[in-house]
Structure 1
Amino acid sequence: MPNPSLPNQPSPATASAGAIAANVLRKGKPKATEGDAIRPFRVDIPEADLVELRRRVEAARWPDRETVRDSSQGVQLATIQKLAQHWKTKYDWRKIEAKLNALPNFITTIDGLDIHFVHVRSKHENAMPLLVAHGWPGSVIEQLKIVGPLTDPTAHGGSASDAFHLVIPSMPGYGFSGKPTTTSWDPVRIANAYIELMKRLGYTRYGAQGGDWGAIVVDMMALKAPSGLVGIHTNMAGVVPPEIDKALLRGDPPPTGLSEEEQRACEQISSFYKHIGYAILMGDRPQTLTGFADSPVGLAAFMIDHDPASYEMIARSVDGQPEGLTPDDVLDNITLFWLTNTAISAARLYWENKGPFFSVKGVTIPVAVSVFPDELYQAPKSWSERAYPKLVHYNRLPKGGHFAAWEQPEFLSQEVRAGFRTLR
């Protein structure tokens, strides 16, 4: 998540919808000066890199144990040691590499940067094109579990009329996409690149879905409202009234007169704003995090400490309890960051961001909202209806958290189908 309290980032209240819209329009679409070549891509990590990774994990120097019995001081020593033990003795990168290579992977150059993406077309003729955007600390690996249900719904409890063609890009600086060497690769520019990507693929009518940074990016796509974008689905809705967001960021109490649902959302947001150390570090001094390019164990500890609910779920999984994510799931994503050396290039997105995260952006095209119980905050329906005047779907799910596609692919797939059903 971005940290709007940093000096180079205006508060959610000052970054008005009008200012954001002006920013989108000012930057315009990427210039297609590089041509429209789309090149096949295959993941092929040298074995020497995997050997070196295991060596570094084995050589990790450990800190003292925390002085409390809970996770209030951060990732607990026992949890990260168990994860590291699994990493060096049981984990096999080649399994996820094979899963990635079983899908069509491509790279194309947009706005001077290579953009990697997975592109899976459905066998159903009338499938709807859908761009799916990930966030931090994520990657295209997050979405692999929803590829089958969305592209082949008849094999997963849906109907042919629910089918999608999927386009799943790696964000600039993440995974197999290029690493920006200049500034200004913010959510607005990424949104413009994704719009260009869909145009380059020949899609004249499509939807977009996102969570975390991906939710901001698809909001920015919707704000630009290109002719082909019929609507968006978000599982991390930006619907908080700006004045409330500003108060919570300052540590002030929320205003009076809120509904019970709205009051609960304020409590969740206020709690989140008190525990965003990772975002402050990346938003203020990303280059200082050099240690994460050197220590895989350090990188792993940083990445799993995203939010309390996600961390506790991962910790239970590492302890052997069946959860939404397995230890292999967690290590697939961390290992991708390590092998591509993208810890710092990914972190810079926090430094680049100048806009709000949770608050209203001014989207006017159709929007579907899915609310998972362990998300950073549960977006109230009342706020969603005001933030998205063309709200076509709103639903609260019984289980799942911040990484919905990864943790609860069945639920998210059902939500995406429902969200776009009236927009086909």
Structure 2
Amino acid sequence: MNLRPFRIAIPDAQIDDLKQRLRQTRWPAALDADDWEDGTSLTYLQRVSDHWLKHFDWRAQEARLNRLPQFQAIIDGQDLHFVHQPGRGPAPMPLILTHGWPGSFIEMERIIPLLTDPAAHGGDAADAFHVVVPSLPGFGFSAPPAGPGCSARHIAGLWRGLMNGLGYERFGTQGGDIGATVSLWLARCFPEDVIGAHVNYIPASFRPAMGPSLPPPSADEQAYLDTVATWASTEGAYAALQGTKPHTLSFAMTDSPVGLAAWVVEKFRTWSDCDGDIERAFTLDDVLTDVSIYWFGHMLDASYRIYKENRRQPLSFAPSERVSTPLGVALFPRELPMPPRSWLERVFDVRRWNAMPRGGHFAALEQPDLLAEEIRAFFRPLRVK
């Protein structure tokens, strides 16, 4: 594995370069500077940029993140960055948590202590986990893939190698967004390793087999498919571009920090449970820490390209295929379109299906306490007594 400790240490020159680029931003015109209908509000992004330049302290964020036990390791030729926090309890269960786009490993920062040391946060020590939080290849401080083919399915194999290399022969998996896709691939491909899979999102690419000999979509399932199609036509431009021409997009985002922030901030606002006020769900420092990790990582092409790889390797199933790994699903009210339970049960052994009272797409960051308790509840009956 070539396991080695890791600390974030962005050179001063990169921070100075970021600030210089922010000072020299060329702002576009807008029909209505306050409006979000055509994309990110000009007025709001100017506020974000001003905060990034004058008030955001990357060194303070860096120091806080460096309190997490971080490592790098090489798995099947891929250099990966990850957090590995051992649990405190009588028999912690190994658990790998996977972020998505436009998130990063920092999505899990607040939920890690709730899972590793539940007794210190009002929970039961018997629910403790050994938590591993990797950065997806080409995200954060994981190296970009050396060539094509790094889809969620391929990443599932890397995660299995990472967990086995850390001494965890059997483990649970959890994720949202791309992390949910990786978790479902882990459950599908490695049932002998995966104790259970818990997700807070079902990717639209998930497709059970359909055909003349199989039950047609129910009314609820067809309504979901119609909703996904409508959502894709009104909100899916980012995915279409990242899934077809990721490199073209990466030129603009690699050169302009404000362009990158505009691309990310709009998703944090649209996909979170904030009623249009992004700072009801996140602080500006929360958002800018995430954006800064993308900026300093200088791997935007790879972080977009995973959409293209996942289009080439969709989560589709053969008519007779079933996945035996237990599955749990948390449904947050401001999540992207989610299917009915029956859609999953065509393939998966769904053990838990729970509607959450609040929260959106970035559940671990928005509602860490709610998600932590949901994860504990799902895995509780799966633990070896």
CA distance in 1 between counterparts of 2:294 and 2:322 reads 33
Pair 245,152 (structure 1): closer, same or farther in 2 beyond 3 Å = farther
How far 1:223 moved relative to its partner? 0.9
Match of 2:242 among 259, 263, 282: 282
8 Å CA contact 2:88, 2:125 repeated in 1: no
What does residue 99 of structure 1 align with? 64
Structure 1 gaps of 5+ residues are 1-35, 247-254
**TM-score normalised by L of structure 2:** 0.90
TM-score by length of 1: 0.82
| Fraction of identical pairs, as percent | 40
Counterpart code for 1:81: Q
Which of 222, 246, 269 is the equivalent residue of 2:228? 269
Q: Which runs of 5+ in 2 are unaligned?
A: none
Match of 2:286 among 322, 329, 338: 329
Contact kept? 2:205, 2:314, Cα under 8 Å: no
Partner deviation per Cα, 1:54-90 (whole Å, 9 max, x = no partner): 1111211100013587422111111211111111111
Deviation, 1:365, is 0.9
Taking a change above 3 Å as real, the CA distance of residues 272 and 244 of structure 1, as seen in their structure-2 partners, is: farther
CA distance 1:357–1:137, shift in 2 (3 Å): farther
Equivalence for 2:28:
63
Inter-partner Cα distance in structure 1 for 2:191 and 2:161: 10
**Residue of 107, 116, 133 corresponding to 1:168:** 133
The alpha-carbon distance between structure 1 residues 366 and 80, as it changes in their structure 2 partners (threshold 3 A), is same
TM-superposition CA deviations, 1:268-327 (whole Å, max 9, x none): 42332112111111111111120111100001111223377327839613xxx5x22111
1:305 aligns with 2:263: no
- Structure 2 CA distance for partners of 1:313 and 1:66, relative to 1, 3 Å: farther
- Give per-residue Cα distances to partners, 1:354-405, cap 9 Å, x unaligned: 13369998532101110001111133233333342x2221100011111110
Alignment of 1:14-413 (within 5 A): 36-67=1-32, 70-238=35-203, 242=207, 258-259=219-220, 262=221, 265-266=224-225, 268-274=227-233, 275-289=235-249, 290-306=251-267, 309-310=270-271, 313=274, 316-317=277-278, 321=279, 323-353=280-310, 354-356=312-314, 362-388=322-348, 390-413=349-372
- Matched to 1:399, the amino acid is R
Runs of 4+ deviating beyond 6 Å: 243-246, 358-361
Distance 1:90 1:68, change over 3 A: closer
Contact 2:205 2:315 in 1 (8 A): no
Aligned CA distance change for structure 1 residues 310 and 237 (closer, same or farther; 3 Å): closer
SS at 1:332 equivalent: helix
Where 1:306 maps in the other structure, the secondary structure is helix
Structure 2 CA distance for aligned equivalents of residues 239 and 284 of structure 1: 17
Conserved? CA contact 1:265–1:379, under 8 Å? yes
The one-letter amino acid of 2:43's match is A
Q: How many residues align?
A: 374
User: What is the rounded CA distance, in whole Å, between the counterparts of 2:323 and 2:218 in structure 1?
Assistant: 26
Deviations 1:10-55 (A, max 9, x none): xxxxxxxxxxxxxxxxxxxxxxxxxx22111111111221122111
Would the aligned equivalents of 1:115 and 1:169 in 2 still touch at CA under 8 Å? yes
CA distance in 2 between partners of 1:228 and 1:110 (Å): 17
- Choose 272-281 or 292-301, whichever is displaced more: 272-281
C-alpha contact 1:239 1:359 (8 A) present in aligned 2: no
Aligned amino acid, residue 403 of structure 1: F
Distance 2:33 2:372 in 1: 39
Q: Deviations over 1:168-196 (max 9, x none)?
A: 00111111001112111111111100000
> Which position in structure 2 is the counterpart of 1:24?
none
